[in-house]
Amino acid sequence: MIDISDAFRDALKLKGSWNQILFSTLLASLGEKVPDGCTDWEDGVENWGVVFNGEEVISFVCEPIPIAFVKRRFSKDLNAIMNRFGVIHVDAEEFDAEIYRVDKTILKDVFVDVTDVVDYKCISLKDIWYATVTMPVRKD
């Protein structure tokens, strides 16, 4: 298992320097970087923006804290942009692989609650997105 709890802890420490304007600008920049890029995010509804190359999801970007998941074959182009924005990124071959673990308590430091439908000790990045995409966010 690949433990990504520290990536979330590091991003949480940077929360004070992260805001919706930076998030929106980053999301747009990522979408413009890939040949067939576009983005999707519903302000006030979703905690994660999604970057597509055509119909393929290539990145999930978190709005409340500066963390993102990116498909490894796009990381060379996208990670340079994320680094300029100070975003912690987790590179992955696939988002569906259940090879990660994350401390549920660190997620609860960001989100008011998370679903119990998934196993946080053996989870995919897509399932982390699913577990937190519409959960209320802590304001403190």
Q: Which residues form the domain of 54?
A: 2-94
pLDDT of residue 140: 64
Q: CA 66 to CA 134: how far, in whole Å? A: 17
Ranges 20-34, 68-82, 109-123: which has the least confidence: 109-123
The answer to whether position 7 is within a domain reads yes
Mean pLDDT of all residues in 91-98:
97
The answer to whether position 64 is within a domain reads yes
pLDDT of residue 44: 87
The answer to whether position 123 is within a domain reads no
Q: Kindly report, residue by residue over 40-73, the tens digit of the pLDDT.
A: 999 989 999 999 999 999 999 999 999 999 999 9
pLDDT of residue 118: 87
Q: By the 8 A CB rule, do 90 and 7 touch?
A: yes
The answer to whether position 118 is within a domain reads no
Q: Token pair for residue 71? A: 């498909």
The answer to whether position 128 is within a domain reads no
pLDDT of residue 1: 94
Please determine, for residue 114, whether its predicted confidence score (pLDDT) is greater than 90: no
Q: CA 121 to CA 108: how far, in whole Å? A: 15
The answer to whether position 55 is within a domain reads yes
The answer to whether position 120 is within a domain reads no
Mean pLDDT of all residues in 122-126:
96
The count of structural domains within the chain is 1
Q: Please state, in angstroms and as integers, the Cα–Cα distance from residue 134 to each residue in 41, 61, 86, following that order.
A: 11, 14, 24
Q: CA 128 to CA 133: how far, in whole Å? A: 8
Rounded to the nearest 10 degrees, how much is the dihedral formed by the CA atoms of 91, 92, 98, 103? 0
The answer to whether position 138 is within a domain reads no
In the block, tokens 């990504």 appear at 4
